[in-house]
Copies of this chain bind each other. A is one copy, B any other.
């Protein structure tokens, strides 16, 4: 998006971009529903107490208060009950599941496509208001591991249905790193995860220095950690590569089996799109099993456009726990990049397929009648704003991106003109159809 909006970090699309966004959301929704996911929508606000229950990013939260109350109430009176805008869809979903558990059938498959808000400094690919499309499966008490294999397949189906660059879904499993590190005698697992997560930024030497420095590994441990992080494979062959490192640990074996199963399913149902990458870590510490990241080929600098993982401890109520697995597509981040690079557009900027030309203002009722018949047959139609001369009405259609102009009545009967080719032919309001590809705007990949 080149256009500047009045509020930095709150992107707003032009109508033709919004049309693209709507069609992208349609495709995501259709894919999710084909896989049996139900939509839910939660309120935009939660209590601060609910949002910060996992206590991490308090600076990014936008609190909400009534203007009047804001002037009258001392900040001291506020607290955990203060309202704030949600910063993701996972925390609200967890709260929704606990609140509505009695009305849901578990394992519960839900998708949720909503705006979220974060008070961060805006920069490319990072907004203060943006839309995410999340899918999660959540169980009551337990959740079988096969859902960890199913979710990236749903995402692959959804994203490959769009005319966007090829995706690569990188998967890893927390248990592999954790088991491996423990197996070689490392205590500070989060410390090693955090160091390895910096590989892209500071390189192998830098990470090695971190590991042997602040984290307190010896040289051999640091080497082993780096060898583990270097393993990547598009199939289950990573299992043998890890075993070749000679570390034995029960949790490690569990992780290898789980990630192997994810890759097997990926090979069957999302061939060529998934890769085991033992380096990816994901910052959020609530993940306990499989984790996901997704790159767009040719747009790797954008970072992950679709991430998530397995969590066991996000939601609980009394004795009941609700383990889950989820992935979130960063819709605004994806579209912002593709719009900026002119890589995705709509076949036309307006929903209208036909403009009914107006011979004279007193013909408006008749022209409205023509438009009503075309609409009843599913053809999006508007009537000319005024009875300017036809050349001007055709230019209005051009400016709006409307492909057909309908000329009613006259001595030759109705005629319809394709304003792209200039071809004008007799037409019957009860039978005329545009070519199928012109009936609705379609998504098309851009020039580059």
Which B residue sits closest to A6, measured CB to CB? B99
Separation of A229 and B372 alpha carbons in the complex (Å): 33
Interface pair A351/B15, CB less than 8 Å apart: no
With an 8 A cutoff between CB atoms, is A22 at the interface? yes
Against B, the Cβ 8 Å flags (1 = close, 0 = not) of A43-86 are 11111100000000011111111111111000100000001110
With an 8 A cutoff between CB atoms, is A244 at the interface? no
Against B, the Cβ 8 Å flags (1 = close, 0 = not) of A94-124 are 0110011001110101100001010100000
Against B, the Cβ 8 Å flags (1 = close, 0 = not) of A5-39 are 11100111111001101100000010001111111
Interface pair A129/B43, CB less than 8 Å apart: yes
Interface pair B117/A44, CB less than 8 Å apart: yes
With an 8 A cutoff between CB atoms, is A380 at the interface? yes
With an 8 A cutoff between CB atoms, is A212 at the interface? no
With an 8 A cutoff between CB atoms, is A41 at the interface? yes
With an 8 A cutoff between CB atoms, is A399 at the interface? yes
Interface pair A58/B65, CB less than 8 Å apart: no
Separation of A14 and B110 alpha carbons in the complex (Å): 11
With an 8 A cutoff between CB atoms, is A350 at the interface? yes
With an 8 A cutoff between CB atoms, is A386 at the interface? yes
Known A38-B18, A64-B63, A382-B35; contact A268-B365, beta-carbon cutoff 8 A: yes
- Of A60, A95, A119, most B-chain CB atoms within 10 Å: A119
Which B residue sits closest to A354, measured CB to CB? B36
With an 8 A cutoff between CB atoms, is A339 at the interface? no
In the complex, what residues of B have CB within 8 A of residue A38's CB? 15, 18-19, 349-351
Contact pick for A365, options B7, B65, B265, CB 8 Å: B265
Separation of A202 and B37 alpha carbons in the complex (Å): 51
How many Å from the CB of A129 to the closest CB on chain B?
A: 5
The A389-444 residues at the B interface (CB cut-off 8 A) are: 396, 399-400, 402
Interface pair B96/A375, CB less than 8 Å apart: no
Interface pair B36/A381, CB less than 8 Å apart: yes
The main secondary structure of chain A at its interface with chain B is mixed
Contact pick for A61, options B66, B364, B385, B399, CB 8 Å: B66
Known A15-B40, A351-B38, A369-B268; contact A71-B75, beta-carbon cutoff 8 A: yes
In the complex, what residues of B have CB within 8 A of residue A84's CB? 67
Interface pair A382/B36, CB less than 8 Å apart: yes
Contact pick for A58, options B67, B95, B110, B365, CB 8 Å: B67
Interface pair B129/A44, CB less than 8 Å apart: yes
How many Å from the CB of A165 to the closest CB on chain B?
A: 23
Interface pair A269/B372, CB less than 8 Å apart: yes
Separation of A24 and B296 alpha carbons in the complex (Å): 34
The A326-379 residues at the B interface (CB cut-off 8 A) are: 349-352, 364-365, 368-369, 372, 375, 378-379
How many Å from the CB of A68 to the closest CB on chain B?
A: 5
Interface pair B378/A42, CB less than 8 Å apart: no
With an 8 A cutoff between CB atoms, is A243 at the interface? no
Separation of A138 and B295 alpha carbons in the complex (Å): 41
Interface pair B10/A45, CB less than 8 Å apart: yes
With an 8 A cutoff between CB atoms, is A146 at the interface? yes
With an 8 A cutoff between CB atoms, is A144 at the interface? yes
Known A42-B12, A67-B59; contact A381-B34, beta-carbon cutoff 8 A: yes
Contact pick for A368, options B13, B43, B269, CB 8 Å: B269
Separation of A268 and B373 alpha carbons in the complex (Å): 13
In the complex, what residues of B have CB within 8 A of residue A66's CB? 59-63, 119
Interface pair B352/A36, CB less than 8 Å apart: yes
Contact pick for A109, options B109, B117, B382, CB 8 Å: B382
Interface pair B67/A399, CB less than 8 Å apart: no
In the complex, what residues of B have CB within 8 A of residue A71's CB? 75
Interface pair B44/A115, CB less than 8 Å apart: yes
In the complex, what residues of B have CB within 8 A of residue A6's CB? 95, 99
Interface pair B67/A375, CB less than 8 Å apart: no
Interface pair B68/A65, CB less than 8 Å apart: no
Q: Lowest 3 A-B CB distances belong to which pairs?
A: A36-B382, A10-B43, A36-B352
A-B residue pairs in contact (CB < 8 Å), sample of 17: A5-B99, A7-B45, A15-B104, A18-B40, A34-B375, A34-B378, A36-B402, A43-B129, A44-B115, A61-B67, A62-B64, A63-B70, A65-B65, A66-B119, A109-B382, A144-B385, A146-B364
